[in-house]
Amino acid sequence: MRELSLHILDVAENSIAAGATRIEISVRELLSQDELWITIQDNGRGMTPATIAQALDPFYTSRTTRKVGLGLPLLKDAAQACNGFLKIDSTPGEGTVITVKFQHSHIDRMPLGDLADTFLTLLIGAPEVNWIFEYQVNDQRFHLDDTELKAALDGVALTNPGIIELVSRLIREGLAEAHEAGIKQGAYYANN
What value does the mean pLDDT take over residues 119-144?
95
149-158 tens-digit pLDDT? 889 888 888 8
Which helix or strand (DSSP H or E) is residue 74 part of? helix 71-81
How many domains in the chain?
A: 1
* Single-letter amino acid code for the residue at 167: V
38-96 tens-digit pLDDT? 999 999 999 999 989 888 877 665 555 544 446 899 999 999 999 999 999 999 999 99
- Print the domain residue range for 122: 4-191
- Please state whether the predicted TM-score (pTM) of the whole model is above 0.85: yes
175-185 tens-digit pLDDT? 999 999 998 87
57-83: buried (b, 16+ CB within 10 Å) or exposed (e) per residue? Answer: eeeebeeeeeeebebbbebbebbeebb
| CATH at residue 92 | 3.30.565
Nearest to 38 by CA among 30, 48, 50: 30
- Count of H-run helices and E-run strands, the chain: 6, 6
DSSP labels, 166-186: HHHHHHHHHHHHHHHHHHHHH
Residue 30 and residue 104 in contact, taking contact as beta carbons nearer than 8 Å:
yes
17-31 tens-digit pLDDT? 999 999 999 999 999
